[in-house]
Homo-oligomer: A and B are copies of this chain.
Amino acid sequence: MAITFRQLEIFIAVAETQQVTRASKKLILTQSAVSMALGELENQLGGPLFDRHGRSLLLNDRGRYLLPLSKAILHQVANIETILTEQQGVVAGVLEIVASSTIGNYVLPYLIGAFMRMHPEAHINMLVVNTMTAEKLVATGQADLGFVEGDINVDALIATSWFEDELGIIVSSTHKLAGHSTFKIPEDLKETSWVMREEGSGTAEIFTKKLGRHASLLKVVTKTGHTEAIKKAVESGVGAACLSMLAVCREAEEGWLKILPIEGMDMSRQLWIIQHKDKIITRLMAEFLRFCEVVAASHLGRECLASPWKLQSLLEKYKIDQESSRSSEGSRDITDE
């Protein structure tokens, strides 16, 4: 048999009280139980942990070595117990989520950061993949939640709409279209060179699909795999590009890029949260979903989540929600008026 928690507990009690008898009282056990448990532990560890002269027990060097270590271990266990036991209250655990490119790069990092700051015992891992892979991972249970753009067609999943993202034409502030307030199709199309994502990107596909018969007018000068590279290229004047507002709002706010809506064309697309149909929803998952809901409800979908104070106001909102949901536990209301 191996060494036991109980044995460590008993060992610590004896070491601290310096007596088997006192320890037994503290532990509400008989003296003999303590004595035997201690003996057993000493057996397991191949030698005594105390020096015994007459009626006194004193830690020897091995015991002194063991004492802090065993205390540390028991503390850790106690921590685990309290954190995992109190599903009420603390939000704890490790959530695995997957997200498609735009969301994963430009939205979730901020949200995850904010969420984890508010719940230190929680941890969220994110994997950025394409929509299909995301579906698969959520369907097989390897991920708890997915955040995607495209439509879903796996029936083991349920998808709830999150918020709408909008695509826009971006040009550098020195571009000849920078002065315009909208992008007109097909007029402006002819005179523009384009920087595109490589095939397989949701953003690029939507763009060409929406263009329909005008798609043939696209003069593509560069294709690249990374959104950041596209932004850099556009910024340096290579051409225009079609990207999600989420990806470029920061640069637009700073004035480095200009965003043009396309006249007469709805360039919005729905973002979805997907989860397994019959997966049990844990406290942490529920909390994160609620957080995401608040984000969506705040109409911040169309605003820049990367700017600190908008995120801040978001957190306020979330916290208030949190308070009100806790007020059922008897805490007083916060009425500052």
Assess whether B144 is in contact with A61, with CB atoms less than 8 Å apart.
yes
Assess whether A94 is in contact with B44, with CB atoms less than 8 Å apart.
no
- Chain A residues 70-105 with CB under 8 Å of chain B are 70, 72-73, 76-77, 80-81, 83-87, 92-96
Assess whether A70 is in contact with B80, with CB atoms less than 8 Å apart.
yes
Assess whether A48 is in contact with B280, with CB atoms less than 8 Å apart.
yes
- Chain A residues 274-314 with CB under 8 Å of chain B are 276, 278-280, 282, 284-285
Assess whether A141 is in contact with B58, with CB atoms less than 8 Å apart.
yes
Tell me if A62 is interfacial: C-beta within 8 Å of chain B.
yes
Which of B51, B53, B73 sits near A77, CB closer than 8 Å? B73
Least Cβ distance of A245 to chain B in Å?
Answer: 31
Chain B positions within 8 Å of A60 at CB level: 93, 144, 280, 282
Q: Which of A2-10, A26-34, A158-166, A167-175 contacts B (4 or more CB under 8 A)?
A: A2-10
Least Cβ distance of A219 to chain B in Å?
Answer: 49
Write the chain B residue with the least CB distance to A7. B5
Assembled-state Cα–Cα distance A76/B75 (Å) = 13
Assembled-state Cα–Cα distance A142/B56 (Å) = 11
Assess whether A61 is in contact with B285, with CB atoms less than 8 Å apart.
yes
Chain B positions within 8 Å of A123 at CB level: 65
Chain B positions within 8 Å of A92 at CB level: 62, 65
Chain B positions within 8 Å of A56 at CB level: 141
Assess whether B76 is in contact with A72, with CB atoms less than 8 Å apart.
yes
Given contacts A61-B94, A282-B61, is CB(A2)–CB(B3) below 8 Å? no
Assembled-state Cα–Cα distance A92/B64 (Å) = 10
Tell me if A46 is interfacial: C-beta within 8 Å of chain B.
yes
Assess whether B4 is in contact with A4, with CB atoms less than 8 Å apart.
yes
Consensus secondary structure, chain A interface: mixed
- Chain A residues 95-121 with CB under 8 Å of chain B are 95-96, 121
Assess whether B279 is in contact with A51, with CB atoms less than 8 Å apart.
yes
Tell me if A66 is interfacial: C-beta within 8 Å of chain B.
yes
Chain B positions within 8 Å of A144 at CB level: 60-61
Chain B positions within 8 Å of A94 at CB level: 61, 64-65
Chain B positions within 8 Å of A3 at CB level: 5, 77, 80-81
Given contacts A58-B141, A70-B80, A141-B58, is CB(A64)–CB(B279) below 8 Å? no
Tell me if A69 is interfacial: C-beta within 8 Å of chain B.
yes
Chain B positions within 8 Å of A220 at CB level: none
Chain B positions within 8 Å of A77 at CB level: 3, 73
Given contacts A73-B73, A84-B47, A141-B58, is CB(A96)–CB(B64) below 8 Å? yes
Tell me if A45 is interfacial: C-beta within 8 Å of chain B.
yes
Assembled-state Cα–Cα distance A144/B276 (Å) = 62
Assembled-state Cα–Cα distance A334/B47 (Å) = 32
Can you report 7 residue pairs joining A to B where beta carbons are below 8 Å apart?
A2-B81, A3-B5, A45-B80, A46-B86, A53-B276, A61-B96, A65-B94
Write the chain B residue with the least CB distance to A156. B53
Assembled-state Cα–Cα distance A2/B76 (Å) = 14
